[in-house]
A and B are shown apart, each in its own frame.
Chain A
Amino acid sequence: MSNFKEFNIDGTIYTTEVPERVANRKKWERPNPNHIKSFIPGTIVEIFVKEGQEVKEGECLMILQAMKMKNKILMPFDGIIEKIHVTEEEKVPNRMVMVELKA
């Protein structure tokens, strides 16, 4: 059996099989407050803002339609739209960065 790897648990190095689900674990990343990510896969049906535009907290940036529901994507704080990574009619996966903001 040659599929053994070294695996650290509490400072001790064990020789053992490491299944894919553990070997391919994604590193945790601190969420960036300036990124607006899709929270569900769906379609962007309408975009109300442009890059460079100043937007107030609570204003609607775009509509993400998913499971027949039209979800409003709202501005989380007063700021500027730095970049928009989606276009109207575009299908987006879950957790995709749709908009980058600047405070």
Chain B
Amino acid sequence: MSLKRNILDLRKRKEKVLQGGGEKAIQKQVAMGKLTARERITSIVDEDSFHEYDMFVEHEARDFGMEKKELHGDGVIIGTGTIYGQPVCLFAQDFTVAGGSLGLMHARKITKIMDHALKMRVPLIGINDSGGARIQEGVNSLAGYGEIFFRNTLASGVIPQLSVILGPCAGGAVYSPALTDFVFVVENISKMFITGPEVIKTVLGEEISMEELGGAKVHSEITGNAHFYALNELECFEQIKKLLTFIPWHNERKARSFPPKPPKAEYKIEEIVPLDPTQPYDIRNVIKSISDDSDFFEVMEGFARNIVIGFGRLNGETIGFVANQPLVLAGVLDCDSSDKAARFIRYCDAFNIPIVTLEDMPGYLPGVDQEHAGVIRHGAKILYAYSEATVPKITVIVRKAYGGGYIAMNSRHMKADFMFAWPNAEIAVMGPEGAANIIFRKEIMSAEDPEAMRKEKVAEYKKKFANPYVAAAKGYIDTVIEPEETRKMLLHSLEVSTNKVDRRPSKKHGIPPF
């Protein structure tokens, strides 16, 4: 007896499943500027590397006529493949099959591949494109989400988890991406919200479109839920692949090394930073004047732009950069920028990525709104994250470091391994103007020409404190360096830190100011 017949039968069955939700549904998907779920997966992984599992899974709904419906793969595709030759686990919801709605078996397929990713210690990439819970399956759908959230949490800090939002992702479903490390969104395609425009209209009478409520721009600029923004799906896939070159496959590995390259000559470090601490410049140019090949892969580019975070390389090794941005709000710390930086610092620490902090900040953003929004709690996250981190931590003060911000931005007191300052650095409790107004209030008030006296006292304070040598005299700064020496000093201090050991008291976990 030959197996031929069985083989032909298998092929036929596969062929059927590969049609997804059928020609019409696929046409609709394409008309929205979206790729199909399988196309998305094959665009991300290496050619011919994807292998699909659970193709023949059938859905569990037995009510409302659902039992007569056939839902290919139950609306989700799971499998394994490679990216740049390294293994990954993936799932992609298939909107063409019952709107990608999540029922019991759909969720079981996702949790199966999640368990697999965690056990095999490989990254998990989840592509979300779903109308939400399959209402016909009732509490089974909710159970499914819960099982996914639990596994997201379990895997957090062990394997990288990437969420790619390529369609609607609404209601409870949004919490899976929110629990993962990096969220990717695409203009006009991604939509994320807890309650949609219709509910908002009924309950509140407010009219808003899906795009305005939870589109890609909203999540990259206002909410901070998304980390990467792209104009189309292909650009998004390139971002995913680029990110994977910077991060390790799991928390007991280091990221891949690349051949070291010098920064590009066009970035002249000494010419970037104006001497006057009130004048703006783009701190990203300083990062590019230091990093290998001037390559800087920014994370959360559009959100809380007063702080800059992202990956680059020094001597071929991945570095997490955290830098105040004097271009926006003079680089102050506030609620949003604290959240942004703190989470990134914890990411780097969890995945063995050394942190280089470039500091140029005037303090915290003053205002009732900030205080009432809890800037104390939010700001504390940075202190917590830096203090807790045991990866190599190096700080370069490129200009000003005032007040609480000086302490927060990976100071010696947060146990920075190396503290460098440029000769123009001002390390003080506050800016000279504010400090002089307080210290010399009486002299200024009683002077014949208060304005002239104020100027004199500001100058006096500047001379005394607006420099790096007071801090260097106490050993808070290890050495004052010329800007040109920055890269050299970073390379050296990272080399010295290669075998860093920093053991902390054992505990179940800390209680960070969430």
Contact = CB atoms under 8 A, between A and B. Distances in A.
Given A10-B434, A14-B330, A16-B330, A41 B205 contact: yes
Interface string B348-371: 000000000000001101111100
B280 A4 contact: yes
Contacts of A19: 305, 328-329
Contacts of B320: none
Contacts of B310: none
B279 interface: yes
Contacts of B331: 16
Contacts of B363: 9-10
A12 B431 contact: yes
B326 interface: yes
B177 interface: no
B327 interface: yes
B378 to A, nearest CB: 15
A58 interface: no
Contacts of B205: 41, 91, 93
B203 interface: yes
Given A7-B330, A28-B369, A66 B434 contact: no
Contacts of B42: none
Interface string B162-198: 0000000000000000000000000000000000000
A15 interface: yes
Given A16-B280, A22-B365, A11 B203 contact: no
Interface in A18-39: 18-19, 21-22, 25-26, 28
Contact of A10 (B305, B362, B367): B362
B19 interface: no
Contacts of A14: 278, 280, 326, 330, 362
B327 A16 contact: yes
Given A22-B365, A25-B367, A26-B369, A12 B204 contact: no
Interface residues of A, number: 25
B327 A10 contact: no
A78 interface: no
B279 A15 contact: yes
Contacts of A4: 280
Contacts of A12: 277-278, 362, 431-434
A10 B488 CA distance: 35
Contact of B328 (A9, A11, A13, A16): A16
Contacts of A26: 369
A18 B305 CA distance: 10
Given A7-B330, A9-B330, A15 B278 contact: yes
Question: Interface extent on B, as a size class?
Answer: 20 to 34
A51 interface: no
A23 to B, nearest CB: 10
Contact of B203 (A18, A25, A28, A66): A66
A10 B366 contact: yes
Given A10-B431, A17-B329, A41 B204 contact: yes
B76 interface: no
B406 interface: no
B245 interface: no
B321 interface: no
Contacts of B433: 10-12
B280 A15 contact: yes
A93 B204 CA distance: 7
Contacts of B402: 10
A39 B210 CA distance: 25
Interface in A31-63: 41-42
A93 B328 CA distance: 33
A64 B42 CA distance: 53
B110 interface: no
B326 A16 contact: yes
A11 B434 contact: yes
Nearest to B438: A11
B493 interface: no
A17 B328 contact: yes
Nearest to A10: B434
Contacts of B204: 41, 93-94
Contact of B437 (A11, A16, A18): A11
A7 B363 CA distance: 13
A9 to B, nearest CB: 5
Contacts of A41: 203-206
A70 B137 CA distance: 31
Interface in B229-277: 277
A55 B367 CA distance: 38
Contacts of B280: 4, 14-17
B430 interface: yes
Nearest to A26: B369
Given A4-B280, A10-B366, A41-B204, A18 B329 contact: yes
Most buried by A among B204, B326, B368, B402: B204
Most buried by B among A10, A18, A94: A10
Contacts of B332: 9
Nearest to B306: A19
13 contacts: A7-B329, A9-B431, A10-B366, A12-B431, A14-B278, A14-B280, A14-B362, A19-B305, A25-B369, A26-B369, A41-B205, A67-B203, A93-B206
Interface of A: 4, 7, 9-19, 21-22, 25-26, 28, 41-42, 66-67, 91, 93-94
List the 3 closest A-B pairs by CB distance, nearest first: A11-B434, A14-B330, A10-B434
Given A12-B431, A15-B278, 5 more contacts: A12-B278, A14-B326, A16-B280, A28-B369, A41-B206
